[in-house]
C-alpha cells in the first residue's frame, strides 16, 4: 500500500469528482470544500460547473420542449498522466515552480520557450508539437480559437479558478472563460540606461534620434513594433487602415536605420552590459534587468502603448490533459502565483496571489488606461500586417 497522502489539490479534485458523479450531495461538498480551505468563489464555480444547468444565455426560450438536450460540457478526464509538456515565453516562471510541481505530483515536465506569439502560432499550425500547455497573448488566443487549435478546459479540475481577479475573467479573448487561465499581464514601453542617456526618453520618437544610433533596439515582434509606430501617429495599435500601416512601415524603417537590431527578451543582457542604452521592452523583463543593474529604468511613452495578458491554453490534441489541469490549478494557488510574479516582475491576474506579493504591480487606473490599448486579433488584415513586417525586416 502506498503511504503517499493526497495533496489538498488532489482532495479538492476528488471532492469535485464525487459531486459530479452523484456520490456526494451539494451540502456535503460545500462542507468538505470549506474544510479543505477552498474559497467561496472556487466552491461556487465547481457547484455551477457540476449543476448540469446551461448558462443563462444558452437556456431554452420559454415554451421550448422540456426535453431539449443540454449541451454537454467538457468530458471528464482520466487518471493523472506521468508527463507534461509546456511551452512558455522565456524568463516567465519562478525558478522552483516546475521543480515543486514535479516533486508534489511525480509528473515529469518538459519546459520549452518561445519569443513571440507569431513563433508560437506557427509551431501550433505546423502541428504535432505534443504540447499540453502554451501561453499566448490575448489576441493570439483569438487567432488560435479561430483556427480551432485549442481544447476547452474543464472547470471541475480547477477549484482555484475563483482566485482570478475580475478584470481577467470573461475577457474579450475568452468571453466564457472556457479556454484560458491567465498567467501574467504587462505593458510594452521603453527601457533605458539612466546613466547613459542625455535625458530620460518620453516618446517613441527616441528611436528616430540619430544621437543614439547603434545603441537602440526594438523588439523582434511585429505587433509591438508596428503597434508602437501606430501609437506614435495617434492611431490604434490594432489599426488595419492602409495609410496608417504605410506610415508605421515608414517609421519602422527610419528607426531600423539607427537600431542595433530587432531583439526581444535577450536584450536584457545588453542593457545590463551597457551595449544597448535604449530598448523597446516589456515592463517585467525590465525589472528583471534592473535587478542586475539599478541604472536601468522603464517608461511608458506619452503616446501610449500596449497592455496585454498572456494566458495558459491547452492545444488541440494535448496528450496529458489531466496533468495540464493539475498544473493550472497549482499555479492558481496564491503562493505559487505570487512566487511567479515576484520573479517575472509582471502583474499577477490572480488577486489572491497579488495579496501575497512582495512588491505587487498595481493594475492601471482608469486614467492610465487612457494611454493603453489591448492588442486584438487582426483577423482578415493579418496578411497586410505580415506584409509590412516582412518588408521592414528585409528593408
Q: Does 265 bind ligand SPD (CB under 6 A)?
A: yes
Determine phi and psi for 346, rounding to 5 degrees. Answer: -95, 170
Q: How far apart (Å, rounded) are the C-alpha atoms in residues 202 and 392? A: 24
Which among 196, 191, 199, 194 has a CA at the least distance from the CA of 217? 191
CB 285, min distance to ligand SPD, A: 5
For the window 186-215, what string marks contact with ligand SPD as x by the rule CB under 6 A? Answer: ------------------------------
Q: Does 177 bind ligand SPD (CB under 6 A)?
A: no
Binders of ligand SPD among residues 300 to 339 (CB under 6 A) are: 308, 310
Please identify which residue in 118, 285, 373, 377 interacts with ligand SPD, judged by CB under 6 A: 285
- The site that binds ligand SPD (CB under 6 A) totals a number of residues, namely 13
Q: Which residues contact 317 (CB under 8 A, 6 or more apart)?
A: 151
Pairing of strands 150-151, 314-315: antiparallel
Please identify which residue in 10, 91, 275, 297 interacts with ligand SPD, judged by CB under 6 A: 91
Give yes or no for a contact between 299 and 281, defined as CB atoms under 8 angstroms apart: no
Centroid of chain to Cα 274: 30
Please identify which residue in 132, 174, 177, 221 interacts with ligand SPD, judged by CB under 6 A: 221
Please identify which residue in 29, 89, 343, 389 interacts with ligand SPD, judged by CB under 6 A: 89
Give me the residue whose beta carbon is nearest to ligand SPD: 89
Binders of ligand SPD among residues 133 to 152 (CB under 6 A) are: 137
CB 149, min distance to ligand SPD, A: 19
Q: Does 92 bind ligand SPD (CB under 6 A)?
A: yes
Centroid of chain to Cα 100: 21
Q: 116 is written with which cell numbers?
A: 513571440
Q: Does 224 bind ligand SPD (CB under 6 A)?
A: yes
Q: Does 220 bind ligand SPD (CB under 6 A)?
A: no
Give yes or no for a contact between 128 and 319, defined as CB atoms under 8 angstroms apart: no
Q: Does 185 bind ligand SPD (CB under 6 A)?
A: no
Pairing of strands 296-299, 181-193: antiparallel
Q: How far apart (Å, rounded) are the C-alpha atoms in residues 19 and 49? A: 10
CB 169, min distance to ligand SPD, A: 19
Q: How far apart (Å, rounded) are the C-alpha atoms in residues 155 and 332? A: 13
Would you tell me which residues interact with ligand SPD (CB under 6 A)?
89-92, 137, 221, 223-224, 265, 282, 285, 308, 310
Amino acid at each position: 500500500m502506498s503511504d503517499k497522502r493526497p495533496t489538498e489539490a488532489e482532495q479538492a479534485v476528488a471532492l469535485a469528482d464525487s459531486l459530479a458523479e452523484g456520490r456526494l450531495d451539494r451540502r456535503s461538498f460545500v462542507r468538505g470544500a470549506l474544510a479543505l480551505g477552498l474559497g467561496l468563489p472556487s466552491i461556487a464555480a465547481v457547484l455551477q460547473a457540476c449543476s448540469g444547468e446551461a448558462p443563462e444565455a444558452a437556456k431554452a426560450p420559454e415554451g421550448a420542449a422540456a426535453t431539449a438536450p443540454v449541451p454537454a460540457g467538457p468530458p471528464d478526464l482520466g487518471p493523472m498522466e506521468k508527463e507534461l509538456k509546456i511551452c512558455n515565453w522565456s524568463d516567465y516562471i519562478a525558478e522552483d515552480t516546475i521543480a515543486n510541481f514535479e516533486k508534489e505530483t511525480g509528473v515529469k515536465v518538459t519546459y520549452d520557450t518561445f519569443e513571440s506569439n507569431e513563433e508560437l502560432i506557427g509551431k501550433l499550425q505546423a502541428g504535432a508539437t505534443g504540447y499540453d500547455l502554451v501561453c499566448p497573448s490575448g489576441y493570439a488566443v483569438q487567432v488560435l480559437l479561430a483556427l480551432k487549435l485549442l481544447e476547452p478546459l474543464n472547470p471541475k479540475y480547477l477549484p482555484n479558478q475563483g482566485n482570478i481577479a475580475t478584470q481577467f475573467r470573461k475577457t474579450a479573448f475568452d468571453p466564457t472563460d472556457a479556454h484560458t487561465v491567465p498567467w501574467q499581464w504587462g505593458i510594452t514601453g521603453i527601457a533605458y540606461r539612466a546613466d547613459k542617456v542625455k535625458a530620460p526618453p518620453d516618446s517613441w520618437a527616441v528611436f528616430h534620434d540619430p544621437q543614439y544610433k547603434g545603441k537602440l533596439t526594438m523588439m523582434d515582434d511585429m505587433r509591438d513594433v508596428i503597434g508602437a509606430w501606430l501609437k506614435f501617429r495617434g492611431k490604434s495599435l490594432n489599426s488595419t487602415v492602409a495609410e496608417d500601416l504605410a506610415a508605421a512601415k515608414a517609421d519602422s524603417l527610419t528607426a531600423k536605420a539607427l537600431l542595433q537590431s530587432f531583439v526581444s527578451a535577450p536584450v536584457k543582457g545588453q542593457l545590463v552590459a551597457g551595449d544597448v542604452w535604449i530598448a523597446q521592452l516589456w515592463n517585467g523583463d525590465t525589472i528583471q534587468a534592473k535587478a542586475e543593474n539599478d541604472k536601468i529604468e522603464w517608461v511608458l511613452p506619452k503616446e501610449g502603448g500596449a497592455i496585454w495578458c498572456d494566458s495558459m491554453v491547452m492545444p488541440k490534441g494535448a496528450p496529458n490533459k489531466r496533468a495540464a489541469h493539475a498544473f493550472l490549478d497549482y499555479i492558481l494557488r496564491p503562493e505559487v502565483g505570487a512566487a511567479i510574479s515576484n520573479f517575472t516582475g509582471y502583474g499577477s491576474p490572480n488577486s489572491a496571489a497579488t495579496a501575497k506579493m512582495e512588491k505587487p504591480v498595481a493594475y492601471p487606473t482608469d486614467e492610465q488606461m487612457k494611454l493603453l490599448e489591448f492588442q486584438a486579433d487582426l483577423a482578415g488584415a493579418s496578411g497586410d500586417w505580415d506584409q509590412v513586417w516582412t518588408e521592414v525586416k528585409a528593408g
